[in-house]
Amino acid sequence: MSGSEADGGPALPAEAGHAVTLLIADDDEVTRSGLSMLLAAQPGISVLGEAADGIEAVDRALSLRPDVVLMDVRMPRRNGIDATRHLLAEAADPPKVVVITTFENDGYVTAALGAGASGFVLKRFPVRRIAEAVRVVAAGEAVLFPAALGRMVAARPLGSAAALPQAALTGREEEVLRLMATGLSNPEIAESLTVSLETIKTHVGNVLTKLGAQNRTHAVVIAYESGLVVPRFAE
């Protein structure tokens, strides 16, 4: 796995046309096997392995080094939140984590985003949409539902409200951050602002650096906490 969100650009697998490598962690064998089979059949995705609980998810991710881990929330021995936190702390070049769960407003999901996950998807989503989420986070983007993220900030602020005023963002950088908070990808932001994708990558990289944000989701959390973006709770 190469590339990082710090530069706002896509990771190597997306740039080079290589398949995104994936580890699937879910304690339900039928769900896990089904996701593995269906996602392996999707273009541009290679499933490296499976894990049945949070401890195994971390161990297998450290050994297999996938680009992305599709992480269930409720698992035995170690839940998906703790597994995400352990994995991102222990791996020298950590994979991106996409949380997969049954309910969008699940409190465990918002906690997982706070632990560093790059986004989440619902188990009821069509497999093509889940596959697209895997590709998107592998390319350095984030997959999130703005309303759910707003609920997270309102319910459990992460203490970075002062970061935005201290960051001295330019007007355009604040505009890009607002659009990031709506869930738009870099290409969508570029289209919205009628500028090049490379320009948006530069702005995103500057935003993350100035805010000291570990990823796009963290930057959006700061935007909510600072009041730049007002949480909305209706989908």
177-233 pLDDT tens trace: 888 887 777 888 999 999 999 999 899 999 988 888 767 777 877 777 777 776 554
Task: Indicate whether 28 pLDDT > 50.
Answer: yes
The answer, yes or no, to whether residue 5 has pLDDT greater than 50, is no
- Pairing type for strands 20-25 and 96-101 reads unpaired
User: 207 and 176 in contact (C-beta within 8 Å)?
Assistant: yes
Query: Average model confidence (pLDDT) for the chain?
Result: 80
Of residues 143, 136, 131, 152, the one with CA closest to residue 229: 152
Closest Cα partner for 215 from 129, 122, 113?
A: 113
| Sign, CA torsion 207/212/213/214 | positive
How many Å is the maximal CA-CA distance in the chain? 50
For residues 59 and 104, is the Cβ–Cβ distance under 8 A? no
Give me the pLDDT at residue 101, please: 84
Average pLDDT value for residue range 122-138: 88
Highest mean pLDDT pick, 52-56, 136-140, 141-145, 168-172: 52-56
Say yes or no to pLDDT of 79 above 50.
yes
Whether residue 109 is predicted with pLDDT greater than 90 in this model: the reply is no
Better-predicted residue by pLDDT, 107 or 46: 46
Candidates 211, 204, 224; CA nearest to 153 is 224
Quote the distance between the C-alpha of residue 13 and its chain's center: 16
- Please give the backbone phi and psi of residue 210, each rounded to the nearest 5 degrees, phi first: -65, -35
Higher pLDDT, 233 or 123: 123
**Higher-confidence residue: 1 or 153?**
153
Residue predicted with more confidence, 146 or 143? 143
Digit-coded pLDDT (tens) for 42-69: 999 999 999 999 999 999 999 999 999 9
